[in-house]
A and B are shown apart, each in its own frame.
Chain A
Amino acid sequence: MDAIGALVELLGRERVRTHPLDLFIYAKDAGVSPGDPSVVVLPDSAEEVAAIVRIARSAGMPIGVRGAGTGLAGGAIPAAGSVLIVLTRMNEIFVVDEVGRTAWVGPGVVNLALSRALVSRGLHFAPDPASQQAATIGGNVGTNAGGPHCLAEGSTIGHILGMEVVTVDGEILEIGGAAPDPPGYDLRGLIVGSEGTLAIATRILVRLTQNPPNVETMLAAFTAIEDAARTVSEIIADGLVPAALEMMDGPMVEAVENFIHAGLPVGAGAVLIAEVVGHADGTAAEAALIRETAERNGATEIRLAADDAERELLWRGRKSAFGSIAQSAPDYYLADSVVPRTRFVDAVNETYAIAERHGLRLMNIFHAGDGNFHPLVSYDASEPGMTEKVVRASHEMIHASLAVGGTLSGEHGIGVEKRDLMPEVFSADDLDAQARVREAFDPEGALNPGKVLPAGSRIVAGSGR
């Protein structure tokens, strides 16, 4: 029996898709380049995933994995001829331990759905990527996803305690767990952020965070990005790490305001959104300190959200940034860059210079507190040569970030998009070490091939004996 036949026998016809339209839909994530799967499968359990892996391996087919496909770096796009495992049906929240503040969840659980389900227990899952209404926890694990609240809480990696995974041999293993510091190597720390190349997570033990007793969210408008950036630096130098410190530049504010009509200060050069959490007395004091700092740095307007509705509106403005682009141009290219916070203004100004040189429309959105920013170019891909031009400009922007001590990705991952840029931040020996890690899990490179490491980076000669 061929592989497809074996898969149909395992899962039934409904959960094995080979129709060109299905293959077309699942071939892409939210990035620019499509993949080329041979078959798409939708398992319901770890046992099914393990069986799929065994079938694919014996047929010599590569294995792709995806959740909702909101990734922007192409980590979820399948290599040619792949069996593509879609984990969205495995979306059960199994156990919530309120005392230990943990939960076992399926990889297909949607990020925001998890936090919503936990509201009555006073807990939430801290990583909150802008795509959280669709992105899955499994996908968050794959990319080590971030989000505005990672400033104080850290990226996904800090919120995953353990996993049940399926290995490339089709074995089901438990890794890590609720107990701290499991003896041996931290495989959990390797798998998170590995973009489906080391193992397939089929159940995930997440750490949950207490909902704060009080939240203050404020918006400050500035005439120049420099003023907003200085405000950010001074807040942090003062010993305060707010729950979030987000920024949008003028063009982005305008696009968002035209889209959601939240009353954002159109015409400002930059808008800062700051949030502090904790005991009410503490948040009032911290909010006052942020206000003073913003005023000292020339804020033209400061607005404190009076209630949850106003706070939600401010956040909706921030999180609908990418959706708002559609009204200005049919396509957009969103980069992910991170630099030391003190070099942030230099790096951002360089992105504007690059866009101007190429005659492109650029907006910027920033997780300003940790130096992570997303230059966004809106364009029309149907114009001949346009996509290539945009990608070229975007690579120049990445180089500008690297030149001031930054790295390739803060939260989107490497995928295929930045794979071939890896040699710019890692030496051949560094990449060789990473290849050794990958080989320890998947010696033949069957899991999500073509991601993370550049083709040909492995130095076989002179390597380990």
Chain B
Amino acid sequence: MTVLNAVTRALFERLRDEAADVEAEFAVAPTSIDDAAAVIAAARDARLPTAFLGGGTHGGYGTRPEAALVVTTARLDRIVTWHPDDLTVVVEPGVRVAALEEQIAQRAQTAVFPEIPADATVGGVIAAGLSGYRRLRYGPTRDRVLQVQMATGYGAVISGGSPVVKSSTGYGIPRLATGSLGSLGLIGRVMLKLWSQPRAAATVDVDDAAAAYAATYRPLAVLETTEGSFLYLAGAEEQVAAQVGEAEGVAREGLSWPSRIAEPIRLEFRVPAPLVRPAIDRARRLGATRWIAEHGVGRVEAGMDDVEPSRFVDARAWAESNGGALVVADGSVPGVDRWGTAPASIAIQRRIKARFDPAGVCNPGILPGGL
């Protein structure tokens, strides 16, 4: 902190977040995106590695920098405008996913965020590029981020995307921001596309998830887990009733989602959808005691107490040779990178990082390839 000049210190002091539970020397909670940009600009000038914090529920993605400064979204927590008739909502990044979903559920709408969000914030989910299980029907979260504001690593406040549900207007800044893990700056307010909640929904216990996926028209999700295999259906009452009738298995009304994987180590296989079963086999051989596999999507989350690094390396080589990845999402595996081999496009990715965070202070090293 000694490198900060008086002005910067005063700014940081004003925004100081005493409540934040962080290891950094300083935590600040800006009350506006302009303040956030001023803080980042000061961090840039002082070359202070800076981290961003939402709900702290998905802190395991990427290698966290040793941050001198943490910017939290604790005071950027308003639902700004909800346009239920346009199926859009504008929210600040610190809004809890659960609070947003609860509010818009009053008009039977959903943002299709992860189903068990715990304390996750809207900004955090978007920054981490997380999607819920319902992506099989509604697409990933990135398809619903219509507009995004960002306090960039170079100290500007920018906005990208369009305030409507369909647009082909300019470069896809919201797509770039989604999943960028704070490496380009802090995500500010966002406009999201909402969906109406289907009028009926059911969860069917099935014997064979892969067969259920192949046989069912547009299910909401098809999960194969340690606790069983489940087919999730939604739509008009008649549609759900008919599909339940055709599915072979016991049906319950409503959607029962599996609980979050809470084992010390959580891995994510991200593989082409037809490889879900082999990925489950790999997870078991790695010692997984819990898993949740998304048929039709290709994501298999696996939880375990411990993992043998050499076996992990083999499993990662298998995933990567099939065009996928094996990501360490929580906990750590000694001696291995959290993401794996950097993407082929790393040179372009590096230039994007350099143009949005020229001083390299925004979550340095959090992305694949050490970006």
Contact = CB atoms under 8 A, between A and B. Distances in A.
B239 A278 contact: yes
A429 B349 contact: no
A408 B358 CA distance: 31
Interface in A129-184: 143-146, 150, 154-155, 157-158, 167, 173-175, 177-184
B86 A341 contact: yes
Given A101-B273, A414-B170, A437-B173, A430 B160 contact: yes
A432 B175 CA distance: 17
A241 B273 contact: no
Contacts of A97: 272, 274
A440 B171 CA distance: 12
Interface in B323-354: 323-325, 327, 339-340, 342-346, 348-349, 351-352, 354
B281 interface: no
Nearest to A210: B217
Contact of A155 (B150, B166, B325): B166
Contact of B154 (A213, A283, A463): A463
B114 to A, nearest CB: 13
Interface in B34-82: none
Interface string B147-187: 00010101011111011111111111101101110000000
A197 B271 CA distance: 30
Contacts of A186: 129, 142, 172, 175-176, 178-179
A180 B270 contact: yes
Contact of B214 (A99, A174, A338, A438): A99
A437 B323 CA distance: 25
B239 A282 contact: yes
Q: How large is the interface on B (under 10, 10 to 19, 20 to 34, 35 or more residues)?
A: 35 or more
Q: How large is the interface on A (under 10, 10 to 19, 20 to 34, 35 or more residues)?
A: 35 or more
A240 B196 contact: yes
B168 A432 contact: no
Interface in B234-278: 235-243, 270-274
Nearest to A146: B166
Contacts, number: 281
Interface string A232-266: 01001111110000000000000000000000000
Contact of A182 (B156, B199, B270): B270
B364 interface: no
A410 B298 contact: no
A212 interface: yes
Contacts of B238: 279, 281-282, 284-285
Contact of A281 (B218, B241, B342): B241
B169 A464 contact: no
A421 B274 CA distance: 45
B162 A425 contact: yes
A414 B345 contact: no
Contacts of A101: 273, 296
B164 A371 contact: yes
Contacts of A238: 196
Contact of B166 (A173, A411, A413): A411
Contact of B235 (A174, A194, A237, A278): A278
A354 interface: no
Contact of A183 (B154, B164, B236, B367): B367
Contacts of B178: 186, 189
B195 interface: yes
Contact of A440 (B237, B296, B351): B351
Interface in B266-323: 270-274, 296-299, 319, 322-323
B77 to A, nearest CB: 24
A360 interface: no
A239 B159 contact: no
A12 interface: no
A183 B159 contact: no
B242 A281 contact: yes
Contact of B158 (A173, A189, A279, A430): A430
B218 to A, nearest CB: 6
Contacts of B243: 279
B164 A410 contact: yes
Q: Which 9 pairs of residues, A with B, have the shortest CB-CB distance?
A: A282-B239, A189-B175, A178-B272, A179-B324, A407-B162, A440-B351, A239-B196, A436-B355, A464-B358
Interface of B: 83-88, 108, 129, 131, 135, 139-140, 142-143, 150, 152, 154, 156-160, 162-173, 175-176, 178-180, 195-199, 214, 217-218, 235-243, 270-274, 296-299, 319, 322-325, 327, 339-340, 342-346, 348-349, 351-352, 354-356, 358-359, 367-369, 371
18 contacts: A157-B175, A181-B129, A184-B339, A192-B172, A239-B198, A240-B236, A279-B243, A281-B242, A282-B240, A340-B86, A340-B88, A414-B170, A422-B170, A429-B156, A432-B158, A433-B156, A453-B170, A465-B154
